[in-house]
Amino acid sequence: MPGSYSERANMSSDPRTPVLIRVRPDEVDPYRIAHHSRYAVWAEEALLRWMEETGETAPYRVADFQCKYISSALLDEEIAVMLRRKSEKDCIREFAFSMRKTKGQQLLCTGTLVIQTM
């Protein structure tokens, strides 16, 4: 996705390969801390990459998003978003995710993302 904040994302065919994201200036507050809403965007970016890599693209809606914040991402830090499918039933898919700083591997958050395919 050239030009997007995840343009440096790893393009491996393994869907469990982390998506790498660099925190941009428009994603932080005056103290250079990433706004909590960005974590949902980054999780969905990992989902879109996963769908792209597995060929399981389908229209969907986010049914649930839960995130446990542990530490903050800062301006210009690179973070790795790891996503894995936990379950699938009918048209509901549940994914677990975690985000870490690539430098030092500090855990930023963990959570779940549930989607309903149309």
- Domain count for the chain: 1
Q: What is the CATH number of the domain that holds 23?
A: 3.10.129.10
Residue 106 sits at φ, ψ, to 5 deg, of -65, 130
Residue with tokens 């389908």: 58
Q: Is residue 41 part of a domain?
A: yes
Contacts of 73 (CB under 8 A, 6+ apart): 23, 33, 34, 38, 79, 99, 101, 108
pTM: 0.83
Q: Is residue 57 part of a domain?
A: yes
Q: Is residue 14 part of a domain?
A: no
At residue 16, the pLDDT reads: 64
Q: Is residue 86 part of a domain?
A: yes
Determine the structural domain holding residue 106 and report its residue range: 19-117
Q: Is residue 1 part of a domain?
A: no
- What is the rounded distance in angstroms from the CA atom of residue 60 to the CA atom of residue 8? 25
Q: Is residue 58 part of a domain?
A: yes
Q: Is residue 23 part of a domain?
A: yes
Task: State the burial class of residue 81 (Cβ atoms within 10 Å of its Cβ: 0-12, 13-18, 19+).
Answer: buried
How confident is the model over 73-116, as pLDDT tens digits?
A: 999 999 999 999 999 999 999 999 999 999 999 999 999 999 99
Q: Is residue 94 part of a domain?
A: yes
* pLDDT classification of 54: cutoffs 50, 70, 90: confident
> Which is more confident, 17 or 89?
89
At residue 53, the pLDDT reads: 87
At residue 58, the pLDDT reads: 86
